[in-house]
Every structure is written in structure tokens, then in C-alpha cells.
């Protein structure tokens, strides 16, 4: 989500405030191959994600005037598979009502809003910088825009805003979906330290339904970017409420928490009060799901953290999105947990895998040659029937190391980027992130997706996910294993990934 301007050190809301210095030298070595990045400039939250007529639409918080946070626009990109992206012209730009903050988009199949059958309708927060500067509590309001040409062009509703602020300083990030039981649209809105639900028959006239969460979950920072959706497990439907939080994540700064419960179209009732996290790594935030994807629930997050997002050493762009993930539910130890697994589309990137059988690790072993590891864009999969402590070390000729693994005594997975390249740009960047192991199974399968400057870890069939960025001075192309007490992997596979379009994103026609 947006970082409050006070936290960014911004106090004036003029063009001069956001004047940019000459960008630093380009860093193509950090440009991911199969994660979305803008060709240039600042990006944060994914917005308005919707699948329409065979195309995935990704909108995103974007500042086309520089490489750090500035007056927010909705950038736009399209893809047939969530992997190969074309960056489109800016969809929504600031206007007299303010900046264009986060929100969602829906397909209005029944023309409830009157804009046209099957219109794409975006619901977003107008953020008025003048009102914020004046010290009011009503500077964030919810507005509409619509497209009648499959998202190519957008018109803002001439009676915006459609939901005015009742006096809540942080009143933003509407996630809207159709509720079949009540035959109404439901808006899940972040309102300071809780979620407020609204309903509407037509996307224009909104009625407050209920509030949730003032005293539940993690509250180390403001609640942002919520999402609400059903998932089915063993024939029973449960509802999942995602709530992004900044700061207060399990490894510092930004993170995505969630609740599992029931929603009757009016009120969300959680199964219990336990705090759970969709991703334990420090670099997944503002994660929400695509609309209009049928039975699939597909998730995408911003791959950064507000503690250092404005300082990461990339140019001429800043930040990327995570890989797309498919969400599900799993019962473990009497608890219902959200599972997160790489979307099946990622398999289309795979080239020929190299697989080793029955790898026993008692002393440090270098597998680089045996796994034919030569690049830094690949998938690693490790399977063991008996999980115990180990370290997977990804290194380079400069002696830099990204260390991942499992600590049996602490029952934790971990990623340590302390020695994985550039860390001096922020005192909060270097460190070791941990995630509790939720599975009680003896063995596990660990899947890692690496893409130049990021790693995404999925363990125990998606019960644990961790996302982390890093900035090695040379590609991490060596693979070593360490295990002080010994461990045997039934298989270890290395699969190079070859996206259809490598390098700099495609940008089509400007307006």
C-alpha cells in the first residue's frame, strides 16, 4: 500500500516536492525475467486485478515522474498467462479529487451500474493531498472509473466519490466482489485499525454492513489492502479475509495476515483469534487476488517492504511483483491454514531439469556441476522423507551467499541474506528471516523460485511461503548444501526457467 507521506518525509504536495534527481546507473542484472516490473519509475501495490476475455489485467500503484514514491497513478499491464507482460499506458491519473490510491476492478456482467453490460469497473481510493496537509480526517474517499473497450481506455464517473469518508483518517483500498447470496456487491475496505464491509446493488450507492478486527490479529501498524473470498475444503465453503499490515510483519515491516471464517453477506465471523500470515518473508506485501477467475483463486503481491522500498539499488525502475500463486485451504493440527503454491502457468517456463537421486549430506557438498547450475533464473526442488536441519547455500565468485534452510531445534524455515550482496542502502535490509513449520509430517518438499534478485520459498505443499529480495554483485550460480547432523534428500532437481520475453518489459502506445 501507500506509505503515508509523513513517513516518507514529505510535507508539501507540489510538483517540486517530487522533483527527481538524475537516476543512478542502470542495473539490468537485477531485472527479473518472469516477474512483472515496469520499464521505468516507481511501482508499489497491485491494483484492480481482473481476468477479462482471455487477458489478465494488472493495475498498480505507479509514479511516472520518478523512482521513489510520488503522486499515485494506476499503471497498467496485460498478460495472457500472468508471466509475459505488456505494459500499457497509464490507466488512471490524479485529478481535482486527488491521487489514485489502491482499489479493485470487476466485470459488471449484469450492468448493475448502468455503464454497459460487461463493463470493466474500477473502484479506487481518491486521496486528496490538500486535505491531508490541512489536517482533515476526510481526505480519502472511494470513486469509480469504467472501461467499455476491454480496459484500453477509462472514464471516471462524473459523480465521484461514491462513498464519502465519515471521518476516518485511513479509509481506503476497496476490494469489491459480487455476493450471490445477497445479490449485492460487497466492498471490503481498510479503515484504520479494522475492516469495514459495505454493500451496494449498483456500485454507486453504498450501505455500511459491519466492522471486523479492531481487537483481533496483528496491529503493529495500519491495516491496508484487504481481500475477501470463499475457498472450499472437503465440500465445505470457508471465507478467507486477507489484511495487509504495515508495519508489524513477522520479520519486520510490511506483511499479509489472514483470517479464516464465515461471511453471510453482512458480517465476517472468524473461526478463532489466531494470527496467521500468508507469507513470512519480508518482501511480500499488499497481496490480493484476481477477480473473474472462476474456481481458481490467484494471488499476487508487491515484492518489497516499506522499510527500504525507496532505497533498493535498482534503476531505472523500483520493485517487482511476486510470481502468481494459487491459494487453497489445508487442515493441520486442528487448524485451517491458507496454502500458497506457484501457479501452474509457471511450468510453461521450465526447460530440461537435472535431477539427483538419494543425496546424503553429512559434510558440505558442492552440487553446482552435478546440477548443471549456470544461471540465476531457475527452480530448485528438494524432497526428503525425514526433515532435519540443513542449509542450502547459493553463492557466487565474489564469495557472496544467500543461505536458506531449516532449523530443526527451532522448527523454523529461514532465509539469510546478510552476506548476499548489497545491504548498505538500509540498516533494516540485512538479516535472517524465519517462518514456523506448520506441518507435522516427517518429510517435506521444498520448492524455490529464483529470478536474478529474488527468491520465493514454498514448503510443505504451500503451508509455508517466504519471499525475499537480494542484490548480489554477481549472479548466484553455485549450489552447496550443509548439514551438521546429516540429511538425505530423495531427489534434488534444478530446472532452468526460460521466459518467452527476457529482460526489459514491453511498453505499448503512450497517451
| Identified catalytic residue from 45, 108, 376, 451 | 45
- Cell 506509505 -> residue: 3
In sequence order, the β-bridge partners of residue 435 are 413
Instruction: Give the C-alpha separation, 465 to 251, whole Å.
Output: 13
Q: Is the preceding omega at residue 274 within 30 degrees of 0, hence cis?
A: no
Q: How many CB atoms lie within 10 A of CB 24?
A: 11
Buried b (16+ CB within 10 A) or exposed e, 354-364: eeeeebebeee
- Judge whether 30 and 474 are in contact, CB under 8 Å: no
In DSSP terms, which residues pair with 51 in a beta bridge? Answer: 56
DSSP state of 407: E
Q: Supply 169's cell numbers.
A: 483518517
Q: How far apart are CA 462 and CA 501, in angstroms?
A: 28
DSSP 285-307: EEEEE-BS-TT--EEEEESS-TT
Ordered DSSP codes for 444-497: EEEEEEEESSEEEEEETTTTEEEEEE---SS---EEEEE-SS-EEEEEEEEEEB
Q: Checking phi first, is residue 31 left (phi over 0); if not, alpha (psi -120 to 50) or beta?
A: beta
Q: Catalytic site residue 45?
A: yes
Write the Ramachandran bin of 102: left for phi over 0, alpha for psi from -120 to 50, otherwise beta: beta
Cβ-based neighbours of 334, under 8 Å, separated by 6 or more: none
Give CA–CA dist 84/78, Å, rounded: 8
Of 339, 330, 302, nearest to 318 by C-alpha is 302
Q: Alpha carbon 210 to chain centroid distance?
A: 27
What is the strand order of the sheet 194-200 is part of? Answer: 171-179, 184-191, 194-200, 207-212
Set of cell numbers at residue 143: 470513486
> What Å distances lie between residue 315 and 24, 28, 455, CA to CA?
6, 8, 20
Cell numbers at residue 124, please?
479506487
In contact, 7 and 170? CB cutoff 8 Å = no
The residue assigned the cell 503454491 is 341
Cite the active site residues: 45
Amino acid at each position: 500500500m501507500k506509505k503515508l507521506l509523513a513517513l516518507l518525509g514529505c510535507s508539501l504536495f507540489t510538483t517540486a516536492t517530487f522533483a527527481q534527481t538524475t537516476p543512478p546507473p542502470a542495473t539490468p542484472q537485477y531485472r527479473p525475467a518472469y516477474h512483472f516490473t515496469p520499464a521505468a519509475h516507481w511501482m508499489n501495490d497491485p491494483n484492480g486485478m481482473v481476468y477479462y476475455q482471455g487477458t489478465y489485467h494488472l493495475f498498480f500503484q505507479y509514479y511516472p515522474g520518478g523512482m521513489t514514491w510520488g503522486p499515485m497513478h494506476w499503471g497498467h499491464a496485460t498478460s495472457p498467462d500472468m508471466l509475459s507482460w505488456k505494459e500499457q499506458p497509464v490507466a488512471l491519473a490524479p485529478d481535482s479529487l486527488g491521487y489514485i490510491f489502491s482499489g479493485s476492478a470487476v466485470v459488471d456482467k449484469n450492468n448493475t451500474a448502468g455503464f454497459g453490460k460487461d463493463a470493466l469497473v474500477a473502484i479506487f481510493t481518491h486521496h486528496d493531498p490538500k486535505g491531508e496537509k490541512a489536517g482533515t480526517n476526510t481526505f480519502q474517499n472511494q470513486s469509480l472509473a469504467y472501461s467499455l473497450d476491454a480496459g484500453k481506455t477509462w472514464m471516471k464517473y462524473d459523480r465521484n466519490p461514491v462513498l464519502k469518508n465519515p471521518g476516518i483518517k485511513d479509509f481506503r483500498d476497496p476490494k469489491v466482489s459480487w455476493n450471490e447470496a445477497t445479490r449485492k456487491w460487497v466492498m471490503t475496505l481498510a479503515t484504520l485499525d479494522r475492516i469495514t464491509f459495505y454493500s451496494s446493488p449498483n456500485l454507486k450507492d453504498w450501505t455500511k454492513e459491519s466492522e471486523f478486527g479492531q481487537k483481533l490479529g496483528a496491529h503493529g501498524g495500519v491495516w491496508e489492502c484487504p481481500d475477501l473470498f470463499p475457498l472450499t475444503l472437503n465440500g465445505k465453503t470457508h471465507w478467507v479475509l486477507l489484511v495487509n499490515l504495515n508495519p508489524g510483519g513477522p520479520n519486520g515491516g510490511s506483511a499479509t495476515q489472514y483470517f479464516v471464517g464465515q461471511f453471510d453477506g453482512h458480517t465476517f465471523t472468524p473461526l478463532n483469534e489466531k494470527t496467521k500470515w500468508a507469507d513470512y518473508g519480508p518482501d511480500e506485501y499488499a497481496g490480493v487476488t484476481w477477480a473473474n477467475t472462476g474456481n481458481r483463486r490467484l494471488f499476487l503481491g508487491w515484492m518489497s517492504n516499506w522499510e527500504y522500498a525507496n532505497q533498493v539499488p535498482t534503476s531505472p525502475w523500483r520493485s517487482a511483483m511476486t510470481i502468481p500463486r494459487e491459494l487453497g485451504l489445508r487442515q493441520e493440527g486442528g487448524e485451517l491454514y491458507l496454502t500458497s503454491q506457484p501457479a501452474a502457468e509457471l511450468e510453461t517456463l521450465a526447460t530440461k531439469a537435472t535431477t539427483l537421486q538419494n543425496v546424503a549430506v553429512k559434510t558440505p557438498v558442492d552440487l553446482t556441476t552435478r546440477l548443471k547450475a549456470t544461471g540465476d533464473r531457475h527452480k530448485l526442488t528438494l524432497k526428503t522423507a525425514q526433515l532435519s536441519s540443513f542449509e542450502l547455500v547459493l553463492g557466487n565468485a565474489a564469495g557472496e551467499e544467500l543461505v536458506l534452510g531449516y532449523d530443526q531445534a527451532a522448527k523454523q524455515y529461514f532465509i539469510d541474506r546478510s552476506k548476499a550482496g548489497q545491504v548498505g542502502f538500509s540498516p533494516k535490509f540485512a538479516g535472517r528471516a524465519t517462518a514456523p513449520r506448520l506441518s507435522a509430517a516427517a518429510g517435506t518438499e521444498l520448492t524455490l523460485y529464483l529470478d536474478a534478485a529474488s527468491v520465493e520459498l514454498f514448503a510443505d505443499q504451500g503451508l509455508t511461503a517466504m519471499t525475499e529480495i537480494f542484490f548480489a554483485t554477481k549472479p548466484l550460480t553455485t549450489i552447496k548444501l550443509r548439514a551438521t547432523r546429516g540429511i538425505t534428500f530423495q531427489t534434488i532437481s534444478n530446472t532452468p526457467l526460460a521466459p518467452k520475453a527476457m529482460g526489459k518489459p514491453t511498453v505499448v502506445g503512450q497517451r
